[in-house]
Amino acid sequence: MSKVSHAYSADNPPFAHHWQAWSELLSAGLQDDGWQWDWTAAGSVRPAGKPARARVIAKSPGVWAADGLIEALNRHPWAELGGSRIVARGRVKDGAALRPGETVCEWRGPAQLVLAFERPFLNLASYAGGIATLTRQYVDAVRAACPRQTPRVTSTRKTLPGYRDIAIRAVQAGGGFSHRISLSGGVLIKENHIAAAGGIARAIEGVRAIAPHSLRIEIEVRDGKELAQAIAAGAEVVMLDNFTPAQVAVALERVRKLPRRPVLEVSGGLTLSNIAQYAQPGVDILSVGSLTHSAKAIDLSLLVGG
């Protein structure tokens, strides 16, 4: 299996144009706020097109993961008032480590619009930064524990509807990888599929009969017996689900003896406190659902003036 040393860098983004997803979420945030009826801004900012400058600053350490959001703001159809529009300029790149007090981007434009976009922008940037920050912590812990054969740290499909794309970008900015973009992006036979099919062999046989030839077949196993069945049925990727570190070591020893071993993924119950125990040479993937469902947002603030 080919190894990838680093998933993402600011100089080599996985996709250059992903601002559309951000733009849709900005629109949703503005609509939730009822921004057209902002009595506070309408009364305190006169005239309506009064120009303003603002800075988004980091108030906590973290990892930036919202370059696409800045581009979305610059392109957003609602960011224009009376022929003048918000122009935002990033000061850091996706994947950059943030220091408290650091300016991450600068805005200029109509003050009323700056105030309208403030909260939706900060909410989204803080959310993505939290995912990138947590991912970086996991990636650093895995690299320290297993520097020569470092497993990939991947996210899972545990994302909120509508937020999938920016969550995946944030994981990449933190140095991680996505698992499957969607159900169509890969084959993963889980315990409920096995139960519905009537066994591991039947599930693999059925999927192999219809899946595109370019997709590898991955199956989840819960113990050594199921691992043996998956290997016998020709699974190309095996997910060791909720194994202990000792059980992972036994599974690694078993597959090392095979003429052609499957890719091994470890999943279930992985935390920052135990991830190093699972980062064993020979483990290819460590999948962590908490990257996207339990990350704490980073603290960002927008200040007008200066």
At residue 12 the predicted structure's pLDDT band, cuts being 50, 70 and 90, is very low
Q: What CA–CA distance (Å, rounded) separates 178 from 140?
A: 17
Number of domains into which the chain is organized: 2
What confidence tens digit (pLDDT) does each residue in 49-61 have?
A: 899 999 999 999 9
Structural domain including 123 reads 19-137+295-304
Please indicate, yes or no, if residue 204 is contained in any of the structural domains. Answer: yes
Alpha-carbon dihedral angle through residues 140, 145, 147, 148, given to the nearest 10 degrees: -150
Position 207 pLDDT exceeds 90: yes
Is residue 169 domain-shared with residue 66, that is, in the same domain? no
Q: What CA–CA distance (Å, rounded) separates 169 from 188?
A: 22
Indicate the SS3 state at residue 121.
helix
Whether the full predicted model's pTM is greater than 0.75, yes or no, is yes
- pLDDT of amino acid 46: 81
At residue 1 the predicted structure's pLDDT band, cuts being 50, 70 and 90, is very low
Of 300, 274, 301, 271, nearest in space to 288 by CA: 271
Ranges assigned E (strand) in 6-163? 51-58, 62-63, 80-81, 84-85, 87-90, 97-98, 103-110, 152-154
Q: Using a pLDDT cut of 90, give the percent of the chain over it.
A: 85
Please indicate, yes or no, if residue 102 is contained in any of the structural domains. Answer: yes
- pLDDT of amino acid 17: 53
Position 34 pLDDT exceeds 80: yes
At residue 306 the predicted structure's pLDDT band, cuts being 50, 70 and 90, is low
Mean pLDDT of 26-55: 90
Please indicate, yes or no, if residue 12 is contained in any of the structural domains. Answer: no
Residue 5 parent element (H or E): none
Is residue 157 domain-shared with residue 210, that is, in the same domain? yes
Please indicate, yes or no, if residue 104 is contained in any of the structural domains. Answer: yes
- pLDDT of amino acid 49: 80
CATH number, residue 202: 3.20.20.70
What confidence tens digit (pLDDT) does each residue in 246-298 have?
A: 999 999 999 998 999 999 999 999 999 999 999 999 999 999 999 999 999 99
Of 302, 297, 301, nearest in space to 62 by CA: 297
Please indicate, yes or no, if residue 8 is contained in any of the structural domains. Answer: no
Is residue 201 domain-shared with residue 276, that is, in the same domain? yes
What confidence tens digit (pLDDT) does each residue in 85-134 have?
A: 999 999 999 999 999 999 999 999 999 999 999 999 999 999 999 999 99
CATH number, residue 52: 3.90.1170.20
Q: Return mean pLDDT, the chain.
A: 92
Of 255, 260, 242, nearest in space to 283 by CA: 255
Residue 189 parent element (H or E): strand 187-189
61-86: burial string, b at 16+ Cβ within 10 Å, e else: ebbbbbbbbbbbbbebebbebeeebb
Please indicate, yes or no, if residue 9 is contained in any of the structural domains. Answer: no
Is residue 173 domain-shared with residue 286, that is, in the same domain? yes
Lowest mean pLDDT among 9-13, 38-42, 193-197, 277-281: 9-13
Q: What CA–CA distance (Å, rounded) separates 251 from 259?
A: 15
At residue 47 the predicted structure's pLDDT band, cuts being 50, 70 and 90, is confident
Is residue 184 domain-shared with residue 280, that is, in the same domain? yes
Position 16 pLDDT exceeds 90: no
Position 166 pLDDT exceeds 80: yes
Q: What CA–CA distance (Å, rounded) separates 198 from 216?
A: 21
As annotated, the active-site residues are 119, 158, 190, 220, 241
| Tokens 């008032």 sit on residue | 81
Is residue 211 domain-shared with residue 275, that is, in the same domain? yes
